[in-house]
Structure 1
Amino acid sequence: MPTALSVNCRSSPAGVLVTVAGEIDATNAGRLESVIIGALRPGRPLILDLHGLTFMDSSGLHVLLRVRADVLARSGSLHLVAVQEVPARLLRITGVWDTLDIHDSVAEAVAAHVPAADLA
């Protein structure tokens, strides 16, 4: 039985915001990756709001790494927001945590890639 996963994409002047909730595992990682890749825009930041993500296995980790490579190839940037305890643990023990831009809030992620002159 597939694991529950909710994905919501929204484009804004600050980039593409993808909100992910539920669990990512081998049963739904491919769908998640397809939705995210379909939402990417060249040169635009991608913000993944993970505040509702309660579980992620290695399939989800691989999705993040492939998405990151795709975003960078398109001259964009990837920002993770509100990574919860279980997914954060996986990112830390695999060493991936230190390679990602991780923020506490969407506002913090937006501020990280908007030039200071644009915030005034």
Structure 2
Amino acid sequence: MPALTLAHQRLSGVMVISVSGELDATNRAQLETYLRGIRPGHGARLVFDLSQVPFMDSSGLHVLLMCTTDCLKNGGTVHLAGVQPLPARLFEITGVLAHVPVHDTLEEAITTATERSI
């Protein structure tokens, strides 16, 4: 299994978090720790670039949903971008698509997140 790689960049009005590799029970703590370390802050607009995540299980989904809940409680938003087929199926089955905006491309997600922060 490929190692999970995480990176982020702060753009005007939005923070992009890039995730690469399979996201599951073996590395969910790595993502949780990373998110705590970057401290998005009150009103944060987050975009998760998932274009390099071929597989995600329910534990990875749980981390994303907890992050989303925290952001919403603090006046922010979370957008998902570039979701691959297997994670997309998980989002569909669990009803996540009704609660978290999913965009085909990173550019689309950034544009939408930025527009809503104005």
What TM-score comes out, normalization by structure 2 length?
Answer: 0.89
Give distance in 1, aligned partners of 2:98 and 2:12.
27
Gaps of 5+ in 2: none
Displacement of 1:115 in angstroms is 3.6
Written as runs of structure 1 = structure 2, the 5 A alignment for 1:12-23 is 12-23=11-22
Written as runs of structure 1 = structure 2, the 5 A alignment for 1:17-36 is 17-36=16-35
Secondary structure of 2:50's counterpart equals: strand
Most deviating of 85-94 and 32-41: 32-41
Counterpart of 1:19, as a letter, is: S
Displacement of 1:87 in angstroms is 0.5
C-alpha root-mean-square deviation of aligned residues, in Å?
Answer: 1.8
Displacement of 1:11 in angstroms is 1.2
Give distance in 1, aligned partners of 2:41 and 2:104.
23
Gaps of 5+ in 1: none
Most deviating of 73-82 and 31-40: 31-40
Q: Which has the higher strand share?
A: 1
Give identity over the alignment, percent.
Answer: 40
Structure with more relative contact order (C-alpha pairs < 8 Å, separation 6 or more):
2
Pair member with larger Rg? 1
Written as runs of structure 1 = structure 2, the 5 A alignment for 1:80-91 is 80-91=80-91
Secondary structure of 2:43's counterpart equals: coil
